[in-house]
A and B are shown apart, each in its own frame.
Chain A
Amino acid sequence: MRRRLAPYALILPGGLWLAIFFVVPMVVMLSFSLMQGDVVNGFRLTWHWQNYSEGLSTYDSQLIRSLIYGVLATVACIVLAYPVAYWIAFRGGARKTTYLFLILLPFFVSFVLRTFSWKFLLADDGIVLSPLKDIGLLPQDFHVIATGFAVVAGLTYNYLPFMVLPIYVALERVDPKLIEAAQDLYAAPTQAFLRVVFPLSLPGVFAGVLMTFVPVSADYVNSTVLGGTNNTMIGNIIQNLYLVNTDYPQAAALSFTLMAILLIGIFLYAKALGTEDVLEVATR
């Protein structure tokens, strides 16, 4: 009896934690998203589904922008992270741990602080742009801050380690003998990579995409700090609705809309990639 209960006892603390701090707020928020009212007079549950339709029609451009930024930053993360992860996994030698530590080093400084330092670096008259403008390489009115590019670049920078680590873990598990076997079987180095190494690293890419795309699409710090008024993401809207307008029902409805879109997106992505295959390779 005791033996059979032991596993449940072990998940109890974590399970309770999740129940109290995740499930309960989710239910509360879900009910909020169907309420009407304001802070002064209180909110009442009226099954007001219009919160969703109004949210979608009012903030559709911010939602779409968030998803586009999310996709762009995630793709940029893959492109930048893959070679780094590959190099550490196959060429890192005895210093692998050092390189991984360096990848994680930015986490020792606050996320918001690092994003502000970007603002300082890339300011119109900052230390990067003003010398280039002075020597005439860039026009005087050139700017980076307050553009969509700055937001995507900031997002890419902030979430890059979350892409490097899972890809590294997947590549690290690829037996170098498999690469030799591919070359022995007449595969040129690029073929060996495309047909053997890359497919075997897909579980890592899959995990990396999950770990970047979701938080990136919901991020509001980067667009607040690096974006201008034209680069608002859905995260900014939700934050504003909660903290400034105190329109909790609308904010909650938008949150759930975003969540639903992300879940559907991930589901389609997993389907397209063939999760079964991915998981099969991952659990090998």
Chain B
Amino acid sequence: MTQTEEADSAIGTELAAIELKGIVKTFHSHGDAVAAVKGVDVTIGEGEFFSLLGPSGCGKTTTMRMIAGFDEPTEGDVFLHGKNVVGVPPNKRDVNMVFQSYALFPHMSVLENVAFGLRRKGVAKDEAARRAGEMLEIVDLKGREKRRPRELSGGQQQRVALARALVNRPSALLLDEPLGALDLKLRQAMQVELKRIQREVGITFVYVTHDQNEALTMSDRIAVMNDGRIEQLGSPREIYERPASRFVAGFIGTSNVLSGTVSRTGSGKAIVEPGPGERIMVSHEAVPGDEIELTVRPEKIDVRSDPPDGDGCALRGTVNEVVYLGMFTNYNVTTSTGAEVVVFVQNVSSADDVATRGDSVWLSWDPRHSYVIGA
């Protein structure tokens, strides 16, 4: 059972935490209508770590703001635990948000910040302070209760923002690029930390990011967005291994896109034969003469000086560039079909590189690692 199937079955047994149906959002500026979100349908399961991933301007933040209630959809419906919340103001929605800039209240202490939501919900002062203190313990900020936000480091402010939202036990937590302002080391530490906290509290996380590594590391499922639409929805593994579009292939990691004309087919496979001894095979229903585009990830490809045995994929090429990266060596190869292909070869032995710049080489990979785009 894949992670997606697990998530799907979870959805089947109880109400989804969040459901977006046909969401469209159009902004009007200077008389022009600009569509930020052009029809998004997605169901997010209870307790899921769900990421909206995409470049800036793809509509991911707008989508999240519609869940929070800061923007209302032009068309479509937003359901929280089966209840349509379109028209319900943010203060009456049972979701909380962690802002990119944290948006901590500067005139309040850390404890007052964290207790703010509970107090507004009518929890008594002592009880609110007690629960806020507990939550600060979970995010490892015990002892900083009386500080003002600006007396804390960026990472600590980030955790106050997280505690301030989580202490309310919302039905979903929305995080808007929450790690964007932190440096790389802290960011990586916080990724692990966020995942731990999410497991601990068991709350649905909707995580907006443009950082594919972040999304791949933490998510149960990822929706890759582009130009106001979801390009692909799936587990990190599915998104990475089987990109559904050229956009996803290019956006997630490094990907090689090969194209060619199908020359033979057989037992559900399409075969492209660019030259003698060369063949690209892929699971795909096609007829000879079809033009296909397929992807293969750089680390799946092997570089060798002689033609490979067996019936795997094989392609001839010339090395353009060899870059030693420590754990990997990065080969840049121009294939006989004219495509630029990137190959990562793990440096298992300390021997010399298999090829140097200008060498003629053979690229080979297992046909199971190539996928037709848009299939």
The residues of A with any CB-CB pair to B shorter than 8 Å are 175, 177-178, 180-189, 191-192, 195-196, 199-200, 277, 280-281, 284
Contact = CB atoms under 8 A, between A and B. Distances in A.
Nearest to A181: B103
23 contacts: A175-B103, A177-B99, A177-B103, A178-B103, A178-B105, A180-B90, A181-B97, A181-B99, A181-B103, A181-B105, A182-B116, A183-B70, A184-B165, A185-B165, A187-B116, A188-B91, A189-B91, A191-B120, A192-B91, A195-B116, A196-B107, A280-B148, A284-B150
B117 interface: yes
Interface residues of B, number: 25
Contacts of B158: none
Interface string B72-98: 000000000000000001111001110
Contact of B107 (A181, A184, A189, A200): A200
A180 B107 contact: no
B172 interface: no
Contacts of A187: 91, 116, 120
A284 B106 contact: yes
Interface string B273-286: 00000000000000
B193 to A, nearest CB: 21
B230 to A, nearest CB: 24
Interface in B149-192: 150, 164-165, 168
Nearest to A284: B106
B150 A175 contact: no
A186 B164 CA distance: 12
Q: Which of B116, B121, B165 has the most CB of A within 10 A?
A: B116
A141 B235 CA distance: 84
Contact of B101 (A175, A189, A200): A175
Nearest to B167: A185
A224 B159 CA distance: 61
B68 interface: yes
A175 B117 CA distance: 19
Given A180-B97, A184-B70, A200-B107, 15 more contacts: A175-B101, A177-B103, A178-B105, A180-B90, A181-B99, A182-B105, A183-B89, A184-B165, A185-B96, A185-B117, A185-B168, A186-B92, A187-B120, A277-B107, A280-B148
Contacts of B70: 180, 183-184
A284 B106 CA distance: 8
Nearest to A199: B107
Q: Which of B89, B117, B164 has the most CB of A within 10 A?
A: B117
B105 A196 contact: yes
Nearest to A177: B103
B105 to A, nearest CB: 6
Contacts of A183: 70, 89-91
Contacts of A184: 68, 70, 90-91, 95-97, 165
B124 to A, nearest CB: 15
A74 to B, nearest CB: 23
B76 to A, nearest CB: 21
A200 B165 CA distance: 21
Contacts of B105: 178, 181-182, 196
A177 B116 contact: no
Contacts of A175: 101, 103
Nearest to A178: B103
A186 B103 contact: no
B120 A185 contact: yes
Contacts of B117: 185-186
A281 B99 CA distance: 21
A195 B91 CA distance: 14
Contacts of B96: 184-185
